[in-house]
Amino acid sequence: MVGAKVVGDASTVIKGVAGVREAVEGEITFASSPRYVRLLEKSRASAAVVSRGAEGCGRMSLLVVADPDDAFSKIIECFAPPSPGYEPGIHPTAVVADDVRLGRDVSIAAHVVIEAGSSIGDGTVIRPLVYVGHNVTIGGECLIYPNVTLREDVKIGSNCIIHSGAVIGSDGFGYVTRKGRREKIPQRGTVVIDDDVEIGACVTVDRARFGRTWIKKGTKIDNLVQIGHNVVIGENCLLVAMVGLAGSAHLGDNVMVGGQAAVEGHTTIGKDVVVGGRAGIMKDIPDGMRVSGFPAKPHREELRLAASILRIPGLFERVRELEKRFGDLEHATDNDRQGD
């Protein structure tokens, strides 16, 4: 099935898949890096998928392939439970406004609410307990998981996935302070999400103050990410969990942002930029750079700085030593002169 060369017992019966450390007898695992090949020695798995060159490892049967990761994906599918099917149609408990336009084969599950003026494209699946606000547009072949909130006027493209607990179109955070009181600045724009976007669980995307907060085609966002009002995210970006983008930040295409990183409001990040985990971006970043640290700087510079910082206690000792030797020398020199 995966075009593997078998090393060891080809008749081993496999009942499931698991990670190297969790696998028990009767399970197959895989190792695509030297680190995991080493862990195979102690694994209880009955079989493993490995790359060429790792034929000798472990005591289990081995499937030797060119790309263990890809081969293992196929094996995973064999053992995976069937995905739940979603019947087209509207569940009787769903509350769908009369004027909502529904495409073909739309599936609307139990306790969904869809407000007036909205439209849902062909083949889109809306799971239970989802809220779709007034005048929302959702394209075709989308999958909206339970307990998602899509506020009024939001536009979602085709082939998008939105995970549970996500909130799209909440008000941006903006106030003016008058006589010590915080007065709300109306947030009158919306959110536009283009095709092929995936949005993680409990992600919050604020609507724009005006115009739109915009997530472009093919971008993927992990869980618990915050997207501020009027943010623009380019195509095919990856945002790892817990990232925060402040209002009006702009990301170019193909930007990757590591977990817990943050981007200051009104900053521009060029295309193809890689932002390290927990980096804090305080000013514009040109195309193609790799940055990390807080405040963010070129990654090599940050590595050099981080290495220097670890050696600081030693630097204090060196300066203390210099001061001592210097004092001694000054003393000796003075004595020399006095001795002249």
Query: Any idea which residues carry the catalytic annotation?
Result: 229
> What is the closest distance, in whole angstroms, from the C-beta atom of residue 94 to a second copy in the complex?
9
Name the residue nearer to a second copy (CB basis): 41 or 55: 41
319 phi and psi, to 5 degrees? -70, -40
Phi-psi map region of 39: left, alpha, beta (phi>0 left; psi -120 to 50 alpha) = alpha
Residue 4 or 113: the one with the smaller Cβ distance to a second copy is: 113
**In the complex, minimum distance from the CB of residue 165 to a second copy, in angstroms, rounded to a whole number:** 5
By C-alpha distance, which of 302, 289, 216 is closest to 257? 289
Residue 57: left (phi > 0), alpha (psi -120 to 50), or beta?
beta
Work out how close the CB of 128 gets to a second copy at its nearest, in angstroms, rounded to a whole number: 4
Nearest C-alpha neighbor of 132 from the set 108, 106, 157: 108
Whichever of 24 and 55 has its CB closer to a second copy, that residue is: 24
Query: What are the structure tokens assigned to 260, written together?
Result: 């817990």
The pairing of strands 131-132 and 149-150 is parallel
Residues 6+ apart with CB under 8 A from 259: 222, 240, 241, 242, 243, 277, 278
* 3-class secondary structure per residue, 167-203: EEEECCCCEEEECCEEEECCCCCEEEECCCCEECCCC
Residues 6+ apart with CB under 8 A from 337: none
| R_g over Cα of the chain | 28
CB of 93 to a second copy, least distance (A): 6
Minimum distance, C-beta of residue 6 to a second copy, in the bound complex (Å): 20
CB closer to a second copy out of 6 and 319 = 319
Give whichever of 72 and 275 is closer to a second copy, judged by the CB atom: 72
